[in-house]
């Protein structure tokens, strides 16, 4: 998958831009706060039509602007396509389009353009709260399986309506949403379980490739696995009914589940070192990359946001070999200075200062 052109207006701290993109990708250099990450954010936004830095579109709008627009021209399986989005602060309205045709539903456009982001905060996949790992699971599966995205959308809709009824003190009304919640939720749990069961060997191989010597790893799904069967939901929901009413929220379902990661026989989140947390987070992102690539038929673009700066030289080279050494993916890398990049990296260099992008071949 290749990005061919990028247009952005009113986006973060970027000056309005209309860029043609080298087929191999670019290195983007610039001091902190100049717009490097914003450029990657613009490239990644039309994947799921949300920022990887915030869930609020209004926060992406440049100060003083009424909204933003971002549009991409890309090539997928030798076919040229376009995707774009506009957001207006007034009314908080977003409009998305694919190949010039407006799309009412997100599920009709999400995942047409594919990119995987590696960012410094991704270390929280291994060390942070469960919410980040759920988001990781949902993004990986939604981008590799449109049926999962549809089920997840239906599940979230039923959950929101059920919770609204509980907040109103209407548990009787909440039960009206039990059936759609169970039907969609069971498909979500089943897909998550199938994915976790399929990637164990890949996870260990990635950790070894990244230099973890005690790399016997185990990934597990932390949640009631019986909820992969819709028939198990009525008893679970009934058992939790009093607690749901008291807490005024639904306490059963995949929106509360987690991923468990064990390395060298010990739970990584509690006992792992900072280096192990970073390696495990990178390994999880590699699973995301490979899962999406298998589904799409070619590698998504790689967006590496200053990920090499906090790695030692050996880990830099290992990660570079694992990602860039494939030779098929288009790669976008940001760094403050060129000397912070792995040795031997050969990509065109762009520079960003005060939100303005300078291309230098």
Q: What CATH number is associated with residue 176?
A: 1.20.1050.90
Q: Are 15 and 86 in contact (CB under 8 A)?
A: no
Residue 338 falls in which region: left (phi positive, over 0), alpha (psi -120 to 50) or beta: alpha
Asked if residue 321 belongs to a domain, the reply is: no
Strand partners, 332: 26, 303
Confidence of residue 273 (pLDDT cuts 50, 70, 90): confident
Residues 245 and 294 in one domain: yes
Query: What distances in angstroms separate CA 38 from CA 19, 68, 271, one per listed residue?
Result: 14, 13, 34
The answer on pLDDT for 285 being more than 80 is yes
Distance CA 141, CA 188 (A): 9
- How confident is the model at residue 310, as a pLDDT? 66
Which pair of structure tokens corresponds to residue 70? 């971002």
Residues 95 and 174 in one domain: no
Asked if residue 120 belongs to a domain, the reply is: no
Asked if residue 319 belongs to a domain, the reply is: no
- How confident is the model at residue 289, as a pLDDT? 92
Q: For residue 104, give every residue at least 6 positions away whose Cβ sits within 8 Å of its Cβ, in sequence order, or none.
A: none
Q: Out of 2-11, 70-79, 197-206, which region has the weakest mean confidence (pLDDT)?
A: 197-206
Q: Which of 361, 359, 322 is nearest to 342 (CA)?
A: 322
Residues 227 and 341 in one domain: no
Residues 141 and 107 in one domain: no
Residues 283 and 147 in one domain: yes
- How confident is the model at residue 214, as a pLDDT? 62
- How confident is the model at residue 325, as a pLDDT? 60
The answer on pLDDT for 292 being more than 80 is yes
Give the pLDDT confidence of 131-187 residue by residue, as tens digits. 999 999 999 999 999 999 999 999 999 999 999 999 999 999 999 999 999 999 999
Distance CA 329, CA 236 (A): 45
Asked if residue 320 belongs to a domain, the reply is: no
How many domains in the chain?
2
- How confident is the model at residue 205, as a pLDDT? 86
Residues 199 and 269 in one domain: yes
- How confident is the model at residue 326, as a pLDDT? 58
Confidence of residue 307 (pLDDT cuts 50, 70, 90): confident
Distance CA 111, CA 269 (A): 30
Distance CA 21, CA 226 (A): 48
Asked if residue 83 belongs to a domain, the reply is: yes
The answer on pLDDT for 314 being more than 80 is no
Asked if residue 245 belongs to a domain, the reply is: yes
Residues 250 and 352 in one domain: no
Asked if residue 119 belongs to a domain, the reply is: no
Q: What is the mean pLDDT of residues 267-295?
A: 89
The domain containing residue 169 runs over which residues?
125-299
Residues 139 and 269 in one domain: yes
Q: Out of 127-141, 180-194, 272-286, which region has the weakest mean confidence (pLDDT)?
A: 272-286
The answer on pLDDT for 258 being more than 70 is yes
Give the pLDDT confidence of 46-59 residue by residue, as tens digits. 999 999 999 899 99
Residues 107 and 161 in one domain: no
- How confident is the model at residue 196, as a pLDDT? 97
- How confident is the model at residue 327, as a pLDDT? 58
Instruction: Assign 3-class secondary structure to the chain.
Output: CEEEEEEEECECCCCCEEEECCCCEEEEECCCCCCHHHHHHHHHHHHHCCCCCCCCHHHHECCCCCEEEEEEEEEECCEEEEEEEEEECHHHEEEEEECCEEECCHHHCCCCCCEEEECHHHHHHHHCCHHHHHHHHHHHHHHHCHHHHHHHHHHHHHHHHHHHHHHCCCHHHHHHHHHHHHHHHHHHHHHHHHHHHHCHHHHHHHHHHCCCCCCCEEEEEECCHHHHCHHHHHHHHHHCHHHHHHHCCCCCCHHHCEEEEEECCEEHHHHCCHHHHHHHHHHHHHHHHHHHHHHHCCCCEEEEECCCCCCCHHHHHHHHHHHHHHCCCCEEEEECCHHHCCCCCCCCEEEEECCEEEECC
Residues 176 and 307 in one domain: no
The answer on pLDDT for 206 being more than 90 is no
Residues 349 and 203 in one domain: no
Kindly report the pTM of this predicted structure. 0.89
The answer on pLDDT for 350 being more than 90 is yes
Residues 68 and 104 in one domain: yes
Distance CA 67, CA 210 (A): 41
The answer on pLDDT for 210 being more than 60 is yes
Q: What is the mean pLDDT of residues 242-257?
A: 97
- How confident is the model at residue 263, as a pLDDT? 86
The answer on pLDDT for 254 being more than 60 is yes
| CATH classification at residue 340 | 3.40.50.300
The answer on pLDDT for 269 being more than 60 is yes
Asked if residue 92 belongs to a domain, the reply is: yes
The answer on pLDDT for 89 being more than 70 is yes
Query: What distances in angstroms separate CA 96 from CA 59, 71, 228, 344, one per listed residue?
Result: 18, 10, 33, 39
The chain-wide mean pLDDT, for the chain, equals 91
């Amino acid at each position: 998958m290749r990005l061919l052109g990028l247009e952005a207006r009113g986006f973060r701290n970027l000056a309005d831009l209309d860029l043609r993109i080298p087929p191999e990708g670019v290195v983007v250099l610039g001091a902190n706060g100049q717009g490097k990450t914003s450029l990657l954010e613009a490239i990644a936004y039309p994947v799921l039509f949300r920022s990887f830095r915030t869930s609020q579109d209004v926060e992406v709008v440049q100060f003083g602007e009424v909204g933003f627009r971002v549009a991409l021209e890309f090539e997928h399986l030798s076919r040229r396509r376009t995707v774009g989005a506009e957001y207006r602060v007034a009314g908080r309205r977003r409009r998305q389009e694919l190949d010039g045709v407006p799309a009412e539903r997100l599920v009709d456009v999400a995942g047409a353009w594919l990119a995987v982001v590696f960012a410094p905060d991704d270390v929280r996949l291994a060390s942070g709260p469960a919410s980040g790992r759920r988001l990781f699971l949902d993004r990986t599966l939604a981008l590799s399986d449109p049926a999962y995205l549809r089920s997840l959308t239906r599940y979230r809709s039923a959950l929101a309506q059920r919770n609204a009824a509980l907040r109103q003190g209407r548990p009787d009304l909440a039960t009206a949403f039990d059936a759609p919640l169970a039907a969609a939720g069971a498909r979500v749990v089943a897909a998550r379980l199938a994915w976790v069961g399929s990637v164990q060997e890949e996870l260990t191989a990635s950790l070894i490739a990244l230099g973890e010597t005690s790399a016997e790893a185990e990934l597990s799904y932390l949640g009631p696995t019986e909820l992969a069967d819709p028939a198990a939901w009525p008893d679970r929901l009934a058992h939790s009914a009093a607690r749901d009413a008291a807490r005024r929220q639904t306490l059963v379902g995949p929106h509360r589940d987690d991923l468990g990661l064990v390395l060298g026989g010990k739970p990584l989140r509690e006992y792992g070192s900072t280096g192990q947390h970073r390696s495990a987070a990178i390994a999880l992102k590699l699973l995301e990359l490979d899962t999406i690539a298998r589904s799409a038929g070619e590698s998504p673009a790689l967006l590496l946001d200053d990920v090499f700066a906090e790695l030692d030289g050996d880990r830099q080279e290992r990660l570079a070999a694992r990602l860039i050494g494939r030779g098929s993916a288009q790669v976008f890398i940001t760094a403050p200075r060129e000397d912070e990049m792995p040795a031997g990296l050969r990509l065109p260099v762009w520079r960003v200062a005060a939100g303005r992008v300078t291309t230098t071949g």
